[in-house]
Amino acid sequence: MTFIVGLTGGIGCGKSSASQLFSELGIDVIDTDVIARQLTQPDGQAISLIRDAFGNAFLTADGALDREKMRNLVFSDSRARHQLEKILHPLILQETIAQIKQSHSPYTVLVVPLLLETNDYNPIVQRILVIDCEEQIQISRTMARSQLSEQQVKAIMAQQISRKDRLQKADDVIMNDRGIDFLKAQVIQLHHQYLMLSKDEEKAAN
């Protein structure tokens, strides 16, 4: 199997910007958020299971998951959150593994927002890359992007592993607290490192 870099970070840290830069370098990027959205589109694989568990009230008129309604529920009810995770996580993992098998770049970047909160990806990921920035930057970026209140953003952050713990578990860290050029320089540096690591892995396998 290809060398897998698990890319993670708190909300608003810039996971999408970093993964886009890896993609521009010719690296296959698999994003579990994108997979989750596909699974919860009308006729998505998760929809009938969500309907059975939560009823039609949490679906939109066209039969997709009502993301805002569900988000409000899972942040106020941990049982509902676990129930939704039990439906989505195995399907996301299954699709992730299928996409990894289709990957042809020297290494693959796997974007998992909750990589360090779950053990699901431990057998797959060889390297953990954390995209990091100050918590106040996370809050202001997320509020600007998602039209969420500060309270809502802090509630999301509270569900995630702490910044300190995330940094302790990282093999590599990209600081995303300046402009795109600063981010790009760090991505390029790690890209060369990952190319070497993937070559070493290949040699060891042969």
Convert the pLDDT of each residue in 156-175 to its tens digit: 888 889 999 999 999 999 99
> Do 154 and 67 sit in the same domain of this protein?
no
Per-residue confidence (pLDDT) for residue 204, from 0 to 100: 81
> Do 110 and 98 sit in the same domain of this protein?
no
Q: Which 3 state secondary structure label does DSSP give 133?
A: coil
Segment 107-129 mean pLDDT: 95
> Do 79 and 132 sit in the same domain of this protein?
no
> Do 96 and 194 sit in the same domain of this protein?
no
User: How many residues appear in the chain?
Assistant: 206
Least confident piece of the model among 46-55, 73-82, 88-97: 73-82
- Are 124 and 75 in contact, with CB atoms under 8 Å apart? no
Per-residue confidence (pLDDT) for residue 71, from 0 to 100: 87
71, 104, 137: which is the final residue of a domain?
104
pLDDT level of residue 1 (50, 70, 90 thresholds): low
CA–CA gap between residue 198 and residue 5 (Å, rounded): 10
To the nearest whole percent, how much of the chain has pLDDT over 90? 83
Per-residue confidence (pLDDT) for residue 177, from 0 to 100: 93
> Do 90 and 138 sit in the same domain of this protein?
no
Backbone angles phi, psi at 25, to 5 degrees: -85, 5
- The CATH number linked to 172 is 3.40.50.300
The pLDDT of residue 192 is above 70: yes
Task: Round the average pLDDT of the chain to a whole number and report it.
Answer: 93
Segment 120-126 mean pLDDT: 95
> Do 100 and 111 sit in the same domain of this protein?
no
> Do 9 and 63 sit in the same domain of this protein?
no
59, 85, 104: which is the final residue of a domain?
104
- Are 132 and 167 in contact, with CB atoms under 8 Å apart? yes
pLDDT in tens, 19-72: 999 999 999 999 999 999 999 999 899 999 999 999 999 999 999 999 989 988
Q: What is the DSSP string of 80-103?
A: HHHHHHHHHHHHHHHHHHHHHHT-
The pLDDT of residue 206 is above 80: no
> Do 186 and 137 sit in the same domain of this protein?
yes
Find all residues with CB under 8 Å of 73, minimum gap 6, and list them. Answer: 54, 58, 80
> Do 120 and 180 sit in the same domain of this protein?
yes
Question: Between 126 and 119, whose confidence is greater?
Answer: 126
Whole-Å CA distances, 129 to 104, 123, 194: 20, 16, 11
Residues spanned by the domain of 71: 34-104
> Do 126 and 200 sit in the same domain of this protein?
yes
> Do 98 and 110 sit in the same domain of this protein?
no
138: closest CA among 148, 125, 123?
148
- Are 149 and 143 in contact, with CB atoms under 8 Å apart? yes
> Do 23 and 10 sit in the same domain of this protein?
yes
pLDDT level of residue 12 (50, 70, 90 thresholds): very high
104, 127, 154: which is the final residue of a domain?
104
- Are 113 and 100 in contact, with CB atoms under 8 Å apart? no
Find all residues with CB under 8 Å of 206, minimum gap 6, and list them. Answer: none
Assigned token pair, 50: 């969500």
Provide the domain count of the chain.
Answer: 2
